[in-house]
């Protein structure tokens, strides 16, 4: 029996339960693959890349260099976000998601086949950075596209829960990558790990890419994209075309009723849809609102909401692994095990936060989680540096679920709801990636430098507080977006 539940109650496009399931699995799998690829890289950067690709420097400088190669991928992500985001808003979400999964999977697999510094010298880190850039270019729109697709498929009252599958994808990817590294560290000697073992996780990602590509070939387009009043024959009208329709709405045309206005000279020449004819004042007003609204406020609010999760993730999931092993002298299997346990707990935390967001709203949950992260930052670092393995693992598990996964569950739906459908993909992708560059990519490098200079862990806790404070302020300034009609072209702020 067909389920005619719609992504929005006011729309006309319908999707069956099967369609929603395909979209959910596709979004989850693509995001899992993205974060598995990036977590594989970040853990390799923290554990072995400093020895394999930067062997002629001190351990501290090698760690900073490895973290820097981790960070350059975020520059490529920004370029990918802009390029593929605009494509996704113009021709649809599905086509973009097919391309991005191919780029990510191919580059990650090739990293596993790279020769090291001992074999080809300086060319090795150059090739590593090049593949990292390709990987980042594809990933720049992957999570944004999956976020948009799931939010636009989901029924309004369950949007937080269903959108949290994107966060579960990140959690699954992190868990898979951390689990693979935990196994390698447990069963291989250091010599085996450095000679061939580190390659296995990257090469195994190829199989996941093949399955993801197959799945996305059969995925239907977002119902919200199809319902947009500015989309004609699967392609969005340009701003000039919309302006032409809006301007002609108030002019006598001499055309029979129902005949559509045509774009002004210099535009693509495509006729506006009958729904946007001058007689349809409702559609014309919707189009006008979409192009006349001043952009910027929603983007900067989203950037601030992104900051806490992205910054905390870079510190807890990337930097602390290397810091604990290199500076504290703890076996590197301990922090990787902690990430595995934290990710397992996240399978309960992420959907719970999504449901609470549906029940109480996005703003109250943001405020609660950011305040809790700020309160726990210094106690968490005291536990991690206490010398107790149990304390270390408990501190990392707590920080991961409150300051990273919980916030990510909220971020997935809130950022999609803040933006209008006409530029949702582009703005969401750019907000995520700019936040990633400013917080996730640069954060570990700053933390490595500050801890080396001070010889202490307190800069890490201070950075967690600052990142969370930025998100708290943004949440306080943001409108409540729960249940918003996602077909609307204008932003919520």
Per residue in 294-309, pLDDT (tens digit) is 778 999 999 999 999 9
Range 17-225+294-477 has CATH code 1.20.1250.20 = yes
> What is the model's pLDDT at position 68?
63
Task: Quote the pLDDT of residue 4.
Answer: 34
Percent with pLDDT over 70 in the chain: 86
Note the pLDDT of residue 303: 94
pLDDT given at position 28: 81
Selection from 6-10, 214-218, 249-253, 381-385 with the highest mean pLDDT: 381-385
Beta pairing partners, 425: none
* pLDDT average, residue stretch 142-167: 88
pLDDT band at 14 (very low <50, low <70, confident <90, very high): low
CA 180 to mean position of chain CA atoms: 22
Q: How much is the pLDDT for 117?
A: 80
Q: How many residues does the chain have?
A: 493
Say how many CA atoms lie within 13 Å of 329 toward its Cβ.
2
Domain ranges in the chain?
17-225+294-477, 237-292
Average pLDDT over the chain reads 82
Confidence of residue 407 (pLDDT cuts 50, 70, 90): very high
More confidently predicted of 143 and 263: 143
What pLDDT, on a 0 to 100 scale, did the predictor assign at position 468?
95
State the pLDDT at residue 330.
85
Average pLDDT over residues 55-82: 69
Predicted confidence band at 60 (pLDDT cuts at 50, 70, 90)? low
Q: Model's pTM, two decimal places?
A: 0.79
Other Cβ atoms closer than 10 A to 189: 9
19 or 347: which leads in pLDDT: 347
Judge whether 444 and 315 are in contact, CB under 8 Å.
yes
Residue 360: band (very low, low, confident or very high) from pLDDT cuts 50, 70, 90: very high
Q: What is the mean predicted confidence (pLDDT) over 157-171?
A: 85
Whether residue 12 has pLDDT greater than 70: no
Degrees (nearest 5) of the Cα angle 348, 351, 352? 75
Give bridge partners of residue 235 from the DSSP assignment. 232
What confidence score (pLDDT) does residue 6 get? 36
Tell me the pLDDT tens digit for each residue of 431-489. Answer: 988 888 888 778 888 998 899 899 899 999 999 999 999 999 999 999 999 999 998 88
pLDDT at res. 420: 92
CA 192 – CA 26 distance, rounded (Å): 35
Contact yes or no for 50/59 (Cβ under 8 A)? yes
Average pLDDT over residues 302-327: 89
pLDDT for the residue 57: 57
pLDDT digits (tens, 9 = 90+) for 414-433: 999 999 999 999 999 999 88
Q: Is the pLDDT of residue 271 over 70?
A: no
């Amino acid at each position: 029996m067909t389920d005619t539940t719609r992504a929005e109650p006011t729309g006309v496009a319908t999707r069956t339960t099967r369609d929603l399931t395909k979209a959910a699995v596709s979004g989850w799998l693509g995001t899992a693959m993205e974060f598995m690829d990036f977590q594989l890289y970040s853990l390799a950067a923290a554990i072995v890349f400093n020895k394999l690709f930067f062997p002629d420097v001190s351990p501290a400088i090698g760690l900073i260099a490895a973290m820097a190669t981790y960070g350059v991928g975020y520059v490529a992500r920004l370029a990918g976000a802009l390029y593929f985001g605009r494509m996704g808003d113009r021709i649809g979400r599905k086509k973009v998601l097919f391309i991005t999964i191919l780029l990510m999977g191919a580059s990650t697999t090739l990293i596993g086949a790279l020769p090291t510094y001992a074999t080809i010298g300086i060319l090795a880190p150059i090739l590593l950075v090049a593949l990292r850039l390709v990987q980042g270019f594809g990933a720049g729109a992957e999570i944004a596209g999956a976020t948009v697709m799931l939010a636009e498929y989901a029924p309004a009252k369950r949007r937080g829960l269903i959108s949290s599958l994107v966060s579960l994808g990140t959690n699954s990817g992190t868990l898979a990558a951390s689990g693979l590294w935990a196994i390698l560290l447990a069963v291989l000697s250091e010599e085996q790990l450095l000679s061939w073992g580190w390659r296995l996780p990257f090469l195994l990602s190829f199989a996941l890419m093949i399955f993801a590509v197959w799945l996305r070939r059969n995925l239907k387009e977002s119902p919200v994209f199809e319902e947009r009043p500015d989309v004609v024959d699967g392609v969005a009208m340009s701003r000039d075309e919309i302006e032409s329709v809006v301007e002609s709405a108030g002019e006598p045309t001499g055309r029979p009723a129902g005949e559509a206005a045509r774009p002004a000279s210099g535009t693509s020449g495509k006729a506006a849809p009958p729904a946007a004819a001058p007689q349809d004042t409702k559609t014309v007003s919707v189009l006008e609102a979409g192009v006349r609204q001043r952009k910027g406020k929603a983007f900067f609010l989203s950037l601030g909401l992104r900051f806490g999760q992205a910054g905390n993730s870079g510190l807890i999931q990337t930097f602390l692994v290397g810091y604990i092993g290199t500076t504290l002298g703890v076996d590197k299997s301990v922090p990787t095990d902690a990430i595995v346990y934290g990710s397992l707990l996240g399978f309960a935390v992420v959907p719970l936060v999504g449901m609470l967001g549906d029940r109480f709203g996005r703003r109250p949950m943001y405020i609660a989680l950011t305040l809790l992260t700020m309160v726990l930052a210094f106690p968490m670092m005291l536990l991690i540096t206490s010398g107790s393995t149990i304390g270390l693992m408990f501190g990392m598990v707590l920080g991961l679920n409150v300051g990273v996964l919980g916030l990510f569950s909220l971020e997935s739906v809130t950022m999609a709801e803040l933006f209008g459908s006409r530029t949702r993909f582009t703005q969401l992708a750019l907000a995520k990636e700019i936040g990633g560059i400013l917080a996730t990519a640069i954060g570990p490098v700053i933390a490595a430098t500050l801890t080396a200079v001070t010889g202490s862990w307190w800069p890490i806790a201070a950075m967690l507080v600052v990142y969370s404070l930025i998100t708290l302020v943004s949440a306080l300034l943001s409108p409540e977006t729960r249940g918003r009609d996602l077909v609307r072209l204008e932003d919520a702020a």
